[in-house]
């Protein structure tokens, strides 16, 4: 449930309600807006009497929260969350572009890509060091060596860097090198991994599972936030449907749906959603028009030589062109880019 305080409620009224919640062994989460304070309750609410709370001083109303995710819920936290990654603020004011290769293949490949995407306007460098491949015989990533190259790229370009982590061991290594952890689609419901990522306190980019509902996705975010880490950014990357013309089907409706249900920022990855280079730019523009807070786009110095996801990777020129084309869309959406 959430308890909405009256505009004239004072600090003592709020403290009293928090005390009533905590003495029953539940947790209170405060969201102090410009007009009113909202107190979210997490725990077994059968121990609390809503009618007693309703008559307490300063209380306006009690609203039940029927969704199982609470901390990720917009009802708990009506203001949009802004997640800072390095110098970039991911949220309603900006269009954040994350770009880079699917997999880190060598220092030269990564540095060349970092320089090119930065020059085109990207804010955050992406690159996979631990690759969750469908086949065990496909390139699995450079692991810690790849993370070291990411750190070098960050030092050289000043860009923040994001890397996928696929295990607790990968998290242990990644925290030494990266600014943001990525949880991939295949691990969206790896709850132990979500908890470990939450505990690091680093911003987490949480991709939507291959066949996950929005409800399951927000519950996955809840696992991270429940560790005290509100720095979660959601990423729609396409879902499985009967359609085979694209690698996945981009669920663009996820953008307004997430906006209605959660305060967390949401970005869109048209590269993995389509699997086809030619479809990346139109869907990137559509995502901005739909209200996405950012984009994740794969780029490669020479896509035909890429060790993974070459067919969906943009060349540097194509990425530069896309960024130029995106500027009026960002301006229309009221975002700085
Ligand atoms: C990736 O971003 O490199 C990736 C593997 O994406 P996803 O988890 O969305 O498939
Ligand atoms: Mn990829």
Residue-wise pLDDT tens digits, 109-126: 999 999 999 999 999 999
pLDDT of res. 33: 86
**Could you tell me what percent of the chain has a pLDDT over 70?**
100
Query: Best mutation site among 132, 142, 166, 297 for ligand 1, i.e. most ligand atoms within 8 A of its Cβ?
Result: 132
Checking if the pLDDT of 99 tops 90, the result is yes
Residues in the chain, overall count: 337
Checking if the pLDDT of 45 tops 90, the result is no
pLDDT of res. 251: 98
- Choose among 221, 205, 209, 206: nearest CA to 262: 221
CB 70 within 8 A of CB 42: yes
Q: Measured from the CB, is residue 208 less than 6 Å from ligand 1?
A: no
**Could you tell me what percent of the chain has a pLDDT over 90?**
96
pLDDT of res. 50: 83
Dump the DSSP string for 188-254: TT-HHHHHHHHHH-S-EEEEPPTT--HHHHHHHHHHHHTTT---EEEEE--B--S--SSSSB--TTH
Q: Measured from the CB, is residue 103 less than 6 Å from ligand 1?
A: no
pLDDT of res. 51: 85
The Cα–Cα gap between 93 and 104 comes to: 30
Q: How far is the CA of 62 from the centre of ligand 1 (A)?
A: 41
CB 25 within 8 A of CB 34: no
Rounded to the nearest integer, the mean pLDDT of the chain is 97
Query: Best mutation site among 105, 128, 138, 312 for ligand 1, i.e. most ligand atoms within 8 A of its Cβ?
Result: 128
pTM: 0.96
Task: Tell whether the torsion through CA atoms of 65, 70, 76 and 77 is positive or negative.
Answer: negative
Q: Whose alpha carbon is nearest atom 1 of ligand 1?
A: 102
């Amino acid at each position: 449930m959430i308890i909405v305080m009256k505009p004239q409620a004072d600090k003592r009224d709020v403290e009293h309600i928090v005390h009533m919640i905590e003495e029953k062994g539940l947790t209170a989460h405060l969201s102090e807006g410009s007009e009113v304070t909202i107190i979210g309750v997490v725990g077994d609410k059968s121990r609390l009497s809503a009618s007693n709370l309703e008559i307490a001083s300063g209380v306006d109303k009690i609203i039940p929260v029927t969704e199982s995710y609470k901390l990720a819920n917009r009802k708990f936290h009506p203001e949009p969350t802004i997640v800072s990654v390095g110098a970039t603020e991911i949220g309603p004011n900006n269009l954040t572009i994350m770009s880079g290769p699917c997999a880190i293949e060598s220092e030269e490949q990564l540095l060349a890509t970092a320089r090119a995407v930065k020059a085109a306007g990207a804010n955050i460098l992406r690159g996979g060091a631990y690759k969750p491949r469908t086949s065990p015989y496909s390139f699995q990533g450079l692991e810690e060596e790849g993370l070291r190259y990411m750190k070098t790229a960050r030092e050289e370009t000043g860009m923040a860097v994001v890397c996928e982590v696929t295990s607790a061991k990968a998290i242990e290594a990644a925290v030494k090198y990266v600014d943001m952890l990525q949880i991939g689609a295949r691990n969206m419901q790896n709850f132990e991994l979500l908890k470990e990522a939450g505990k690091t306190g680093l911003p987490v980019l949480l991709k939507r599972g291959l066949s996950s509902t929005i409800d399951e996705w927000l519950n996955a975010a809840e696992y991270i936030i429940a560790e005290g880490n509100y720095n979660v950014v959601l990423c729609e990357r396409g879902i499985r449907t009967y359609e085979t013309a694209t690698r996945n089907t981009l669920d663009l409706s996820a953008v307004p749906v997430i906006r209605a249900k959660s305060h967390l920022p949401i970005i869109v990855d048209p590269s993995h959603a389509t699997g086809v280079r030619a479809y990346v730019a139109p869907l990137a523009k559509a995502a901005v028009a739909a209200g996405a807070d950012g984009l994740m786009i794969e780029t490669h110095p020479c896509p035909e030589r890429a060790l993974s996801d070459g067919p969906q990777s943009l060349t540097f020129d194509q990425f530069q062109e896309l960024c130029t084309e995106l500027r009026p869309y960002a301006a229309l959406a009221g975002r700085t880019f």
